[in-house]
A and B are shown apart, each in its own frame.
Chain A
Amino acid sequence: MSRMEAEPMETEPELLTHPAAAEPVLPTAPVAEPASPGAGPATAPAATLFAGITGVADIDLVRAHAASLAAAMQGTHVTLAYAGADTTRTAITPELDLLSYPLPTAEATGTPASPWAQTAAAQAALLALASDSSAQSVVLLHPDLAALEPSALLQLTAPVLTREADLVMASYAQGPFDGLLNHSILAPLTRALYGKHVRFPLAPDFALSSRMAARLRMRAHSGGSTGTSVLWPTTVAAAMDATVAEVRLGLQHPTPSGDLDLATVIAQLVGSTFGEMELHAPLWQRVRAAQHSVPFSQFAAPVAAPLSSETVDTAPMIKSFVLGSRSLQDVWGMILPPVTLLDLKRITLLPAERFRLPDELWVRIIYDFALGYRLRTINRTHLLGALTPLYLGWVASYIQEASADPAFQAEARAERLARAFEDGKPYLVRRWRWPDRFNP
């Protein structure tokens, strides 16, 4: 039995955040002397780490990374799992095993295909393998292997190996116009609901303690039955009152592109968030965001790409928003209260250069959609489809605001939106508990 299981970790309400990438934090867990070549049987490492790559990666690159990883993670037994034809374990050194596993497809798990569902399917398979390996710590990584660099991996795993945290989420360097769906809905909503200040709740790189990995595995196993095809580690951590840390990695993964349809992705990701809300309703109604959230400003400055000097054309997005407002009044009317509809109507009448969607209104819209999802006011697919023009309206407003302000700070703007979500939470709780009450 690991120390973690014998002595349950005392959970802290606040979130731990490790400073920037300049100073990688090395694990301070008991470390065994590294085995020298030809020195006979090696000493058993004190810690075991299971690192899983959640997608297809170049095997030569994996081997190259594995070699440098073994050198960097001395005293820790590392099992590096990558997608292969079948499940085969190969011992490279006494402290490093390579494990190939068959990559499951999202369709095989009965969920609609998308990069996120595909990743979740791979994560579930890796968590099962990690459980079989009895690893003390688990880290799941994006298949582009950027986070497999020793410095990044050490940062990511250090809080788990030192037992400071149960979950360590990665945070990335992004431009102000990157990951807008995350910044507008997923991150602030997760923070307001569960009191966990995590900027990337769907980060593809995260490290877990063994008990957190076991809970996440259970969640992945029951995900299909609850209609959720995406894994939300932060939500699971909040449900088990685990300590969550966030490390800022100075890297950026390629943006999912190709044939992705925005409406479909919104339906999948936002629908999954709403599904989690429904599942954890007793939990988040108890959470008071102000008690848990720690602003990022007291830690190292975030890594973010600079704002481009060229203006972005928001006209197509505003057009889409206005078209939605003109055509979807009946649908929106079933989800949104009259005062919100009136506000939206007013916004459509604004000239394009003054087009703004206030944070308070945006927060109310998201909360009302979450309630509509819960009450099944209309078919859920329709409900989530009707959110797309509103989201494009928010994006247009955000871009115009950023373009108009030369001193625009994406981080400060995200913080303001997150605060608005927290401030609006009583409205959500009230409507969630008494949906039939008069709401003008």
Chain B
Amino acid sequence: MGQQIAQSLQDSVGRVITKIVMLLPGIVAFVVVLLIFWAVAAGLAFGVRRILAALRFDARFEQSDNFAEWTHSPSLLIARVVFWGVFLLGVLVGISAFEAGSSDTGLSAYVFSYVPRVIGALVLLFVGTLVARVLGRSVLISGVNMNLQYARLLGTGVKWMVLVLTAAMVLDHLAIGGHIVDLAFGILFGGIVLALALAVGLGSRDLVSRSLEREVATRPTPVPVADERIHHF
């Protein structure tokens, strides 16, 4: 009995060690490839920054108002994109090398098929964040200029709505969460629409009708007109 247990332990330890020994070349290959690509990425990023600086890329870019929200210089951003692009390529090559050095198969195929989704999700995240910031600030400033006391709440609400929507789109694109994301969004937006419908139909119908009548009767005054005797223009 004792011998059988000892034998069984020895076999399992041996199998694990054998497995590790089999994986070790792959891991070493992965780390080496990663280091090489890290060095190449750093070199390329440095080169790109130097070239863009020589071309006065930042100064040319500043002429455009569309990128006023960017907190970093455009050349730095491009250099970072180049660095991380090459580094991610290194990760993929490393995974492939790891697979070649071990007995596991199918890992690289799975990772490679997932890469386009990750890139798409990153683009979605970037655009969504930018839109959320611009839209949130637009609503905030317009709200203040229309003298809405809840302008800040409105601006923050719009910003987070877009951010949450972006997060949902990113998760959906990455195929994370499956139907839970769809379901959560369906419930959330459906809930909002239902609440509004109920408000209009039942609870706040008088308030809403008065508000609608006011909207029809008078155009909203964007800024407070204090007195007829004051002329701004």
Contact = CB atoms under 8 A, between A and B. Distances in A.
Nearest to A380: B65
Nearest to B142: A385
Interface centre among B68, B142, B151 (most CB of A within 10 A): B68
Given A262-B222, A380-B65, A382-B138, A181 B229 contact: no
Interface in A189-213: none
A392 B142 contact: no
B232 A317 contact: no
A259 B147 CA distance: 17
A392 B68 contact: no
Contact of B65 (A314, A323, A379, A399): A379
A319 B147 contact: yes
A261 B229 CA distance: 17
A377 B142 CA distance: 19
A100 B74 CA distance: 51
A162 interface: no
Interface centre among B65, B140, B142, B232 (most CB of A within 10 A): B232
Nearest to B227: A312
A312 B230 CA distance: 8
Contacts of A378: 68-69, 137
Interface residues of A, number: 46
A118 interface: no
B149 interface: yes
A96 B226 CA distance: 47
Given A320-B147, A323-B151, A181 B232 contact: yes
Given A177-B229, A388-B145, A389-B145, A319 B65 contact: no
A370 interface: no
Interface string B5-39: 00000000000000000000000000000000000
A313 interface: yes
A392 B222 CA distance: 13
B233 interface: yes
A297 B152 CA distance: 47
B2 interface: no
A317 B144 contact: no
B145 A379 contact: no
A172 B34 CA distance: 75
Interface in A310-344: 310, 312-317, 319-320, 323-324, 326-328, 331
B34 to A, nearest CB: 37
Nearest to A264: B222
A262 B230 contact: no
B144 A328 contact: yes
B65 A256 contact: no
Contacts of A320: 144, 147, 223-224
Contacts of B68: 376-380
Interface centre among B134, B140, B152, B224 (most CB of A within 10 A): B224
A371 B149 CA distance: 29
Nearest to B66: A379
Nearest to B230: A177
A392 B229 contact: no
B224 A316 contact: yes
A179 B231 contact: yes
B107 interface: no
B134 to A, nearest CB: 7
Nearest to A379: B68
Contact of B144 (A178, A261, A308, A327): A327
B141 A331 contact: yes
B206 interface: no
B140 A323 contact: no
Contacts of B229: 175, 177, 308, 310, 312
A15 interface: no
A300 to B, nearest CB: 24
Nearest to A265: B233
B231 A392 contact: no
Contacts of B222: 261-263
A381 B145 CA distance: 13
B140 A327 contact: yes
A261 B151 contact: no
A263 B223 contact: yes
A301 interface: no
Contacts of A389: 144-145
Contact of B231 (A180, A315, A317, A396): A180
Contacts of A407: none
Nearest to A259: B219
A378 B137 CA distance: 10
Contacts of B65: 376, 379-381
Contacts of A381: 65, 138
A135 interface: no
Interface in B190-233: 219, 222-227, 229-233
29 contacts: A175-B229, A181-B232, A181-B233, A255-B231, A255-B233, A261-B222, A262-B145, A263-B142, A263-B223, A312-B229, A312-B230, A314-B226, A316-B224, A320-B223, A323-B144, A323-B151, A328-B144, A376-B65, A376-B68, A379-B134, A379-B137, A382-B137, A382-B138, A382-B141, A385-B141, A385-B142, A389-B145, A395-B226, A395-B232
Given A178-B231, A326-B152, A382-B137, 13 more contacts: A179-B231, A179-B232, A260-B233, A319-B147, A320-B144, A376-B62, A376-B68, A378-B68, A381-B138, A385-B141, A386-B144, A388-B145, A392-B224
